[in-house]
Structure 1
Amino acid sequence: MLREVLGANEADRVADWLLAGLELKSTLFHVGEYCGVYQASTGGHQRASFHVVLDGGCYLHVGADGDREASTTELRAGDAVFLLSDVPHALSPSATPPADLSVRTGTMTPLPSAPHPSTSPTAQPFVALACGFFEFRTDLDTLVLGLLPNPIVARRASGRLDGMTQVFALIQAEARRPGETPSPLLARLTDLLFYYALREAVHAEDVAPGMWRLMRRDAFGRLAAAIIESPGERWTTDSMAEFVNMSRARFCKQFTEVGGQPPAHFVTLVRMKTAAALLRAGVSLPDAAEQVGYQSESAFAQAFKRVTGIQPGAWRRQAVNASAQPAATASVAYPLH
């Protein structure tokens, strides 16, 4: 089992595990520019959404929700934000949060064919945006999202991910192509940007409580990596507590407080995600069950349906059918802001 310290390389490996098999699909785009006073949002549609800042800058205001405190984040050209659920939020030119996040003001105008030239500090504030919605194809993907920080903010200026900078440059070029209809490549490019953004989030220091923060802790991070590496081992509460050199009671308390769910739930999620990948690759149900620690095929099927919402056989058939169909980019024509 993996027992070395969970450093940067190991954290990236956990991110790669989360990304493996994640079926993201961007379905709607609206590209344009705001100038002067405005308050924009993709909230209220009961969908995950994103904003990519193509030029200029703005502030993202996210409302409090449950354990999450309200926050304000400055966004600059090249930054992107992915809101993994329909949370109250607004984009504005002011660092002061608006009194009502649901209010929308200002008009989005067509994107100019070229970026704005450098202007004086007294010039009217503006922001050029590519915005839209995205979705994950399966209930299992939705559960995996519970391990991630929300929202995910990717910084072009971080300098850690050259690929993200290159993808952003392609998004800029596609967004400014002439024509009334946004380029269909924008959806695919934003999918790629999300994957890079997730890798960037691994290194964020201000991660909210949840599984992501738990994985960043030395002992728990090594445990999470070990479970991911060997899901078929007998991961009981006692064996996990022994792995991190804690008493059973202390382990359960800390894991649940930091991770937001009991350790057994995490083990089951890892096993079902691994099993889903095996079934997608053509592994038989009995072999998939055994590789993730189940001696009984019926117990495995019950656990798989409880987590994913469908039987493992149906999952396998869906995966085969999906791989045989050509990809399509959907587009829905209604305003986002």
Structure 2
Amino acid sequence: MDILTEVLGSMRTGRPASVRTEGRAPWGLRLPPVAGAGFHVVLRGSCWLLPPEDAASAPEPVPAPRHEPVRLHTGDVVFLQNNHSHALADDPGTPAVDAGPARFRPGSPIGALSLGGDGARTTLLCGAYHLDQGRPHPLVRQLPEVVHLETRHGRHPELSAAVGLLRAELEEERAGAAGIVPALIDALLLYVLRAWLEEQPATAVAGWSAALRDPVIAPALTAIHEDPAARWSVESLAARAGTSRATFARRFHTLVGEPPLAYLTRWRMTTAARLLREADHPLSVVATRTGYGSEFAFAKAFKRAYGLAPGGYRRHAAATPMPFAGRHA
């Protein structure tokens, strides 16, 4: 069981939206909040990522934490979460303008946007991953507001290779690009989170980077993810981990951030939400596959977790619009 893949797969609510953006200095682009997580890949050139306070055209409901402008170079990848606005520019002093609608060629999954003057060129892939915001997984909650990964000087070779492949596909119109590029963007999210986890110090005593390599907790997490419908107890999970109940419960809470049965319930609800979004299973099937003996018990637990009855959640998910609305060329 690959827990990282399972976690991301459970939170994804649609295909990512992305736009190939070309800026010629001077240029500045203000990007609105997105429901999920934004990403930027610098394919060519360099630019600056500007903090929300400098980017916002209007106050946001929840003020974003302050961070300094970040210099981005060719090959860099930025992952941003928590629904805050931000800006990209050739220079921190260049005024940013609101992002206009991107152009989409018929049949193309990638939009195009050009702006700026006639100076130095920077090419980026800008986009958003649609993530379920109802109950974000603790792994995602532990991420910083801005994850900046550099691939120069041999760092993160797999991520660098993915960026190189994206660059090649987006710069040359070749057969198969419409299938290859979305698959690479899907893979990019896993590469980003893997690279971030691997950057965490091996001496970390808490958090998901520690939990996934812990010989006691990792087997229990794998068991929960493999079979969320099983009648797990703290005792049975501790037995799977090969330790005492008290030691297991204490260690699990320290690393994961919540007690074992609270995490079990979270994963059951996350699995249920995915089943409701991605298939038309009857509620009785969803209840059985997530460890509930009746539709009533399942519906009560689901509404407590998400604030919506299962049917209402399914209808809301089906009606949620995609970001990056654009116009066809």
Contact 1:29 1:133 in 2 (8 A): no
Q: What is the one-letter code of the residue matched to 2:7?
A: L
Q: 1:110 to 1:58 in 2, by over 3 A?
A: closer
**Match in the other structure for 2:41:** 52
Which of these residues, 296, 299, 310, is aligned with residue 298 of structure 1? 296
SS at 1:139's partner residue?
Answer: coil
CA distance in structure 2 between the partners assigned to 1:89 and 1:246 by the alignment: 47
* Cα distance in 2 for residues equivalent to 1:329 and 1:46: 8
> Residue 228 of structure 2 contacts residue 267 of structure 2 at CA under 8 Å; is this kept in 1?
yes
- Identify the residue that residue 80 of structure 2 maps to in structure 1: 83
Equivalent residue runs for 1:114-263 within 5 Å: 128-131=123-126, 135-136=130-131, 139-140=134-135, 142-143=136-137, 146=140, 149-150=143-144, 151-153=146-148, 158-160=156-158, 163=162, 165-171=164-170, 193=185, 195-203=187-195, 204-207=197-200, 210-263=207-260
1:283 aligns with 2:272: no
> Unaligned 5+ residue runs, structure 2?
53-64, 97-113
Report if aligned partners of 1:42, 1:49 keep a CA contact under 8 Å in 2.
no
Instruction: Provide the C-alpha distance between the structure 1 equivalents of 2:76 and 2:182, rounded to a whole number of angstroms.
Output: 12
Aligned to 1:106: 94
Residues 44-102 of structure 1: CA distance to partner in whole angstroms, max 9, x if unpaired?
A: 88974332212234676989xxxx998997743122211122579887999xxxxxxxx
- Name the CA shift for 1:269/1:112 in 2 (closer, same or farther; >3 Å): farther
SS at 1:295's partner residue? coil
Residue 312 of structure 2 corresponds to 314
Shift of 1:225: 1.5
The number of equivalent residue pairs is: 281
* Pairwise CA distance, 1:132: 5.4
Q: Which runs of 5+ in 1 are unaligned?
A: 1-9, 95-103, 117-125, 175-184
Classify the secondary structure of the residue corresponding to 1:83: strand
> 3-state SS of the aligned residue for 2:301?
helix
- Scaled by the length of structure 2, the TM-score of the pair is 0.63
Hey, what's the Cα distance between the residues in 1 that align with 2:192 and 2:126?
20
Q: Cα distance, 1:107 vs. partner?
A: 4.6
Q: Give the 3-state SS of the residue equivalent to 1:53 in structure 2.
A: strand
| DSSP-derived class of the 1:217 partner | coil
Q: 1:258 to 1:249 in 2, by over 3 A?
A: same
| Equivalent-residue separation in structure 2 for 1:15 and 1:310 (angstroms) | 27
Q: Answer with 272-281 or 27-36: which moved more.
A: 27-36
Q: What secondary structure does 1:231 align onto?
A: coil
Asked if the contact 1:29/1:331 (under 8 Å) is kept, the reply is no
Moved more, 252-261 or 147-156: 147-156
- What is residue 122 of structure 1 aligned with on the other side? none
Q: TM-score, normalised by structure 1?
A: 0.62
Q: Percent identity?
A: 27
1:106 maps to a residue whose letter is T
CA shift for structure 1 position 231: 0.8
Deviates more, 1:233-242 or 1:244-253: 244-253
d(CA) in 1 for partners of 2:256, 2:51:
22
The one of 3, 6, 21 equivalent to 1:31 is 21
Distance in 2, Cα, partners of 1:234 & 1:170: 48
CA–CA distance in structure 2, aligned partners of residues 193 and 148 of structure 1: 22
The letter of the residue matching 1:170 is E
